[in-house]
C-alpha cells in the first residue's frame, strides 16, 4: 500500500550568502498514513522544520522524491496547512481577518468566510476576541488563532512546527488536549514536530526519531496506547516505557551532536 505521504531519499542543502553550506536533509525516507498523527523528534538542527517546509511546498529539495497521495509536491497547495512556531499572525489584521486569510486567498465570498471563521474561532475557544489585534493576545491565544487559521481551509494535512513550544506548561497541556479532540473529530493527517518526548508520545500514533544533521530516519516507534487518550495515561508505567524507548534512541543522536556524556 503506497502511503499517503511518501518521502524517498530526500536531500536539501542550504547555501546562505557569505557562509558555509548546510546540509539539512540527506537520504531521508519517511511515510505517513492517511489520518495518522505522526510526530517527528530529533536533536536541534536535524532538519525537522526543513522537512515540514518541504512538505508545505515552500522549499524545494535538491534530490529525492516527495509525494502526497501519489502526486509529486511542487508548491503550496490547499490540502496542506501549517501552524507556525512563531505564530505568524498578520499584526495589522484582527483575529477574524487572520483566520480568514486562507479562505480569502481561495476566493471565498465574504459572508461565507465570516461564518466559517467564526465557527472555528469558537472551536478554539476564542469567541469574543474576533475583533482584537494580535498584540493584545497572549501566546496561547495567538497560537489558537494560528490553529483556527490552518483549519479554516479544511486541509487534509496539518503540519505543526513546534506549535506549543512558546507556551507555558499549563497552556501547553490544555492545547494538547484540545488538539487531540479537534483531530479526532476532523480526521486530518497531522505531522507534528516537537522537542518534547512526552508530547510526542502522548499525541501520536507513531513517533519517528531523526538523526543529527543531516536528518535521516533513525527509528520508528509505534505508540500502542488506546484512544481517546486522557491526561492520566501520562502517569502510567506503559507510558514511561514508551518514553524510555524513544529517549534511548534519541540519546545517541544527542550525544553525537553535542558530545554530552550519557
Partner 1 sequence: MTRLVQIYTEREHQILGGGFILLLIIAWESVPHLVTLPRALSLFFTTPSKVSETFYELVVQNEFQTHFYVSAVEFLLGLGLAILAGLPLGLVMGRSSVVDAMFDPYVTALNATPRIVFLPLLILWLGLGIWSKVMVVFIGALFPLLINTYEGVKNVDRVLVNVVRSFGANEWQVMKMVVLPNSLPYVVAGLRLAIGRAILGVVVGEFYGATKGLGSLMAKAASAYQVDVVFVGAAIFMGISLIFTLTVKRIEANLSRWRPDVVKTF
Residues of the shown chain interacting with partner 1 in the complex, contacts defined by CB under 8 A: 56-58, 76-78, 80-82, 84, 86, 88, 90-93, 101-102, 105-106, 133-135, 153
**Considering the complex, what minimum distance in angstroms separates the CB of residue 245 from partner 1?**
34
**Considering the complex, what minimum distance in angstroms separates the CB of residue 102 from partner 1?**
4
Number of residues assigned to the chain: 262
Q: What is the DSSP string of 36-64?
A: -EEEEE-STTSSHHHHHHHHHTSS--SEE
By three-state DSSP, how is residue 220 classified? strand
**Considering the complex, what minimum distance in angstroms separates the CB of residue 43 from partner 1?**
23
Q: Is 82 or 190 the residue whose CB approaches partner 1 more closely?
A: 82
Residue whose cell numbers read 465574504: 110
Q: Is 153 or 245 the residue whose CB approaches partner 1 more closely?
A: 153
Q: Is 162 or 253 the residue whose CB approaches partner 1 more closely?
A: 162
Q: Is 80 or 116 the residue whose CB approaches partner 1 more closely?
A: 80
> Rg of the Cα trace of the chain?
19
Q: Is 101 or 197 the residue whose CB approaches partner 1 more closely?
A: 101
**Considering the complex, what minimum distance in angstroms separates the CB of residue 262 from partner 1?**
37
What are the residues whose beta carbons fall under 8 Å from the beta carbon of 191, sequence distance 6 or more? 5, 32, 38, 39, 40, 52, 55, 157, 158, 159, 160
Task: Give, in order, the Cα–Cα distances in Å from 101 to each of 107, 109, 128, 220.
Answer: 10, 12, 19, 36
What is the C-alpha to C-alpha distance for residues 24 and 213, in angstroms, rounded to an integer? 6
**Considering the complex, what minimum distance in angstroms separates the CB of residue 91 from partner 1?**
5
Amino acid at each position: 500500500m503506497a502511503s499517503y505521504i511518501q518521502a524517498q531519499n530526500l536531500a536539501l542543502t542550504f547555501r546562505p550568502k557569505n557562509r558555509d553550506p548546510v546540509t539539512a536533509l540527506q537520504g531521508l525516507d519517511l511515510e505517513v498514513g492517511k489520518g495518522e498523527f505522526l510526530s517527528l523528534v530529533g536533536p536541534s538542527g536535524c532538519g525537522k522544520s526543513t522537512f515540514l517546509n518541504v512538505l508545505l511546498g515552500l522549499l524545494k529539495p535538491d534530490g529525492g522524491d516527495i509525494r502526497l497521495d501519489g502526486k509529486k509536491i511542487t508548491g503550496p497547495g490547499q490540502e496542506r496547512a501549517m501552524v507556525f512556531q512563531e505564530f505568524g499572525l498578520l499584526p495589522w489584521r484582527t483575529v477574524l481577518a487572520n483566520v480568514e486569510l486562507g479562505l480569502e486567498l481561495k476566493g471565498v465570498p465574504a459572508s461565507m468566510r465570516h461564518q466559517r471563521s467564526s465557527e472555528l474561532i469558537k472551536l478554539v475557544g476564542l469567541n469574543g476576541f474576533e475583533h482584537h489585534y494580535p498584540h493584545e493576545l497572549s501566546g496561547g491565544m495567538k497560537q489558537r488563532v494560528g490553529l483556527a487559521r490552518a483549519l479554516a481551509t479544511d486541509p487534509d494535512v496539518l503540519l505543526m512546527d513546534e506549535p506549543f513550544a512558546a507556551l507555558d506548561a499549563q497552556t501547553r497541556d490544555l492545547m494538547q488536549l484540545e488538539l487531540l479532540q479537534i483531530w479526532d473529530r476532523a480526521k486530518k493527517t497531522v505531522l507534528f514536530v516537537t522537542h518534547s518526548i512526552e508530547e510526542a508520545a502522548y499525541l501520536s500514533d507513531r513517533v519517528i526519531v531523526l538523526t543529527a544533521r543531516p536528518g535521516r530516519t533513525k527509528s520508528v516507534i509505534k505508540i500502542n496506547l488506546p484512544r481517546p487518550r486522557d491526561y492520566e495515561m501520562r502517569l502510567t508505567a506503559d507510558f514511561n516505557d514508551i518514553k524510555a524507548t524513544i529517549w534511548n534512541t534519541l540519546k545517541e543522536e544527542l550525544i553525537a551532536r553535542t558530545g554530552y556524556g550519557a
